[in-house]
Amino acid sequence: MSAGVPRTRVMAADQWLSSVTGLACYSAHASGAEIGAGQLVALAGGRNAFFAAKVPVGEVAELERFLAAGFRIVDTNVTLECPSAQYAGAREPAGVRPAAVSDREPVLEIAASAFRWSRFHSDPRFSRALADHVKRAWAENCLAGSRGDEVLVVLDNGTPAGFLAVLKAGSAAVIDLVAVRPQRQGRGLGETLTQAFAARWASRAERLRVGTQLANTAALRLYERLGFRVAEAKYVLHAHVRDGALMK
């Protein structure tokens, strides 16, 4: 770490993720931060710790700096956007409604089983069980109103088969989390949820936004078909400290 740069400017503690994973979790939030493996171990303070960073794909020098410090690329995140005017006056598709209290367990079950491409699932240092647990806890936060502005569910045979959580960020409405029950995937339910989101939020935001993984080509094709276009891409990097040492 460069002399005179406080740790708090380089790494921010993620209290929520720490509580969910049982690890000391941090996110890099200083562009060009000079972080070395020794500093990560020191910041862990004898605890098992997890560090995350995002680097725009064009910033190669910064990417190399993080890689040299012991971070590894686990994902390339792609953000897509479209102007909300594109969906002005659009009708909401049938079969989608705001989540009810009775939808809690079905939604959490979907969240804990439907994800394959998230950064946690792509990181071999996270077990599948822990990665699923993070997504379940994330969905629970959304349902409780602790995060985001709305949760929608799509019904199949009268029961929730998928959900979509909305987060308002400035002038944009963002798909914060979306998933379809594994047994119901491939039936157009993700598209129906996205269309409902766009129709409901077109009058409440200037832009509609969603993020997905470069490896999730099916999702990329879906969003592009619905008029979303790539706005930015970032490498997602993780580093782990276990038993006082940086994992290689």
Determine how β-strand 172-180 pairs with β-strand 207-213: parallel
Residues 140 and 190 in one domain: yes
Q: What is the pLDDT of residue 6?
A: 40
Q: In this prediction, what percent of the chain has a pLDDT beyond 70? A: 94
Residue 172, φ and ψ in degrees, nearest 5: -110, 145
Residue 79's pLDDT band (cuts 50, 70, 90): very high
| Token representation of residue 103 | 């939808």
126 and 219 fall within a common domain: yes
Interatomic CA distance for residues 189 and 20, integer angstroms: 29
Q: What is the pLDDT of residue 39?
A: 85
Q: Determine the residue type at 41.
A: V
59 shares its domain with 85: no
Query: Count of domains in the chain?
Result: 2
Instruction: Give the per-residue pLDDT at 4.
Output: 40
Residue 35, domain extent: 7-75+235-246
Q: Has residue 112 been placed in a domain?
A: yes
Confidence category of residue 248, pLDDT binned at 50, 70, 90 = confident
* Domain identity same for 169 and 127: yes
d(CA 195, CA 43): 44
- Interval 213-241: pLDDT, tens: 999 999 999 999 999 999 999 999 999 99
Reported pTM: 0.92
What whole-number distance in Å separates Cα of residue 74 and Cα of residue 57?
13
**C-beta separation of 80 from 229 below 8 A:** yes
Q: Are residues 131 and 213 in the same domain?
A: yes
**Least confident window among 58-67, 70-79, 80-89, 166-175:** 58-67
Residues 6+ apart with CB under 8 A from 85: 202
Task: Give the closest residue to 168 by CA, choosing from 145, 136, 134, 137.
Answer: 145
